């Protein structure tokens, strides 16, 4: 008589997951679809506009706007890794996602998230050199170095995040195939794994410290020196101008790093599906939506470039 396979082995072979997203509020499905579609359109239009004007306007060909253009393009990629799938699920009510598609989505979100952390740190360093060492700025932030910083931000996280994704999806999944989230993120996926996941949890913390905490500390150091330099400026007008160039970036930093840090570095016992979804909405959707508003409304150069583009 053939021996029956244990349920754990059968479930490990499952070829798809189910993304529950906002299934707990069935009466709000169409409202959520309309809301997130509107947000997606705003993100695409806003960030595409900033990306375009930083490419075509001759007055915006400086390091600060090169980084801003890349950041806007990154936000488009970042939100496109999660929102189209969520919109499809809300529209069709068919929430299945294949094993490979889930792993690919997680890897893309992690790689692009790491890129955002590094790029925000690079933008803080750019402001530090501009304000604290203005005479050396053209020499330090030359075009070649800017390209290297941007390229490094984009590629640094790729090998580590591919490895982390492979490690997580190599686990046996025997609890369920229902992901209580709107995309394939690490905390809800690890909840489905059976056996000892302590090594995986430890790797999540190590990678989060490497890609979230270290860039955040570099940003804090940069802004600590920036604030110290600004406070020494003799003119109140100069101080106000210097603070205004940094405040937009600081708002984005607080929004993104605050929600990402709480998501990945808080104790496992404190994880709840509702909190995870709310925090994920901040760093995957709301930050990309606010980015164009924050940078355009508080930046005279961007407003002028936008007016010139609209006049043309």
Residues 213, 205: Cα–Cα separation, whole Å? 10
Asked whether residue 265 carries a pLDDT value surpassing 80, the answer given is no
CATH code assigned to 8-311: 1.20.1070.10
Averaged pLDDT for residues 264-286: 72
Single out the residue of 50, 80, 48 nearest to residue 68, CA to CA.
Answer: 50
Residue 187 structure tokens: 């905390």
Tell how many helices (H) and how many strands (E) occur in the chain. 15, 3
Of all residues in the chain, what percent carry a pLDDT higher than 70?
A: 89
Predicted local distance difference test score (pLDDT) of residue 27: 86
* pLDDT, tens digit (0-9, with 9 covering 90-100), for 197-206: 888 889 988 9
Predicted local distance difference test score (pLDDT) of residue 252: 81
Averaged pLDDT for residues 158-171: 92
Show Cβ contacts of residue 84 under 8 Å, excluding neighbours closer than 6 positions: 40
Residues 237, 239: Cα–Cα separation, whole Å? 5
Asked whether residue 213 carries a pLDDT value surpassing 60, the answer given is yes
C-beta contacts of 37-40 below 8 A and 24+ residues apart: 37/87, 39/83, 39/285, 39/289, 40/79, 40/83, 40/84, 40/87
Residues 265, 209: Cα–Cα separation, whole Å? 8
Predicted local distance difference test score (pLDDT) of residue 36: 92
* Alpha carbon separation from 183 to 105, 146, 206 (Å, rounded): 8, 33, 22
Averaged pLDDT for residues 186-190: 87
* Alpha carbon separation from 57 to 3, 30, 51, 144 (Å, rounded): 71, 40, 10, 20
Averaged pLDDT for residues 269-298: 75
Q: Calculate Rg over the CA atoms of the chain.
A: 22
CA 149 to chain centre: 18
* pLDDT, tens digit (0-9, with 9 covering 90-100), for 2-11: 334 444 444 4
Asked whether residue 74 carries a pLDDT value surpassing 50, the answer given is yes
Residue 262 structure tokens: 């709480």
Asked whether residue 112 carries a pLDDT value surpassing 80, the answer given is yes
Of all residues in the chain, what percent carry a pLDDT higher than 90?
A: 33
Averaged pLDDT for residues 247-257: 79
Show Cβ contacts of residue 194 under 8 Å, excluding neighbours closer than 6 positions: 8, 171, 172, 173, 174, 175
Asked whether residue 257 carries a pLDDT value surpassing 90, the answer given is no
DSSP 142: -
Residue 14 pLDDT grade (very low, low, confident, very high; cuts 50, 70, 90): low
Predicted local distance difference test score (pLDDT) of residue 70: 93
**Residue pair 109/78 in contact by the 8 Å Cβ criterion:** yes
**Residue pair 271/187 in contact by the 8 Å Cβ criterion:** yes
Place of tokens 């760093």: 283
Residue 298 structure tokens: 């508080």
Averaged pLDDT for residues 246-271: 74
Range 149-164 burial, b when 16+ CB lie within 10 A, else e: bbeebbebbeebbeeb
Where do the domains of the chain lie?
A: 8-311
* pLDDT, tens digit (0-9, with 9 covering 90-100), for 35-67: 999 999 999 998 998 899 888 888 888 898 899
């Amino acid at each position: 008589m053939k021996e029956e396979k244990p349920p754990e082995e059968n479930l490990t072979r499952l070829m798809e997951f189910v993304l529950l997203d906002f299934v707990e509020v069935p009466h709000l499905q169409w409202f959520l679809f309309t809301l997130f579609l509107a947000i997606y359109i705003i993100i695409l239009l806003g960030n595409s506009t900033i990306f375009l004007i930083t490419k075509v306007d001759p007055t915006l060909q400086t390091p600060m706007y090169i980084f801003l253009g890349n950041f806007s393009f990154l936000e488009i990629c970042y939100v496109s890794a999660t929102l189209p799938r969520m919109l499809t699920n809300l529209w069709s009510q068919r929430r299945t996602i294949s094993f490979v598609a889930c792993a690919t989505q997680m890897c893309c979100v992690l790689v692009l998230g790491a890129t955002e952390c590094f790029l925000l740190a690079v933008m803080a360093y750019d402001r530090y050199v501009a304000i604290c060492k203005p005479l050396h700025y053209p020499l330090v932030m030359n075009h070649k170095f800017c390209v290297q910083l941007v390229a490094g931000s984009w590629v640094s996280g790729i090998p580590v995040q591919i490895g982390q994704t492979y490690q997580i999806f190599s686990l046996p999944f025997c609890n369920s195939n229902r992901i209580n989230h709107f995309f394939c993120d690490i905390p809800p996926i690890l909840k489905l794994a059976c056996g000892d996941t302590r090594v995986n949890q430890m790797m999540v913390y190590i990678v989060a410290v490497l890609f979230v905490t270290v860039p955040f500390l570099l940003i804090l150091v940069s802004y600590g020196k920036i604030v110290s330099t600004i406070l020494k400026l003799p003119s109140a007008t100069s101080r106000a101008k210097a603070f205004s160039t940094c405040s937009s970036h600081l708002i984005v930093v607080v929004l993104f790093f605050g929600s990402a840090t709480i998501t990945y570095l808080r104790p496992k016992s404190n994880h709840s599906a509702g909190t995870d979804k709310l925090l994920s909405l901040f760093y995957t959707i709301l930050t990309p939506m606010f980015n164009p508003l924050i940078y355009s409304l508080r930046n005279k150069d961007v407003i002028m470039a936008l007016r010139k583009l609209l006049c043309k």
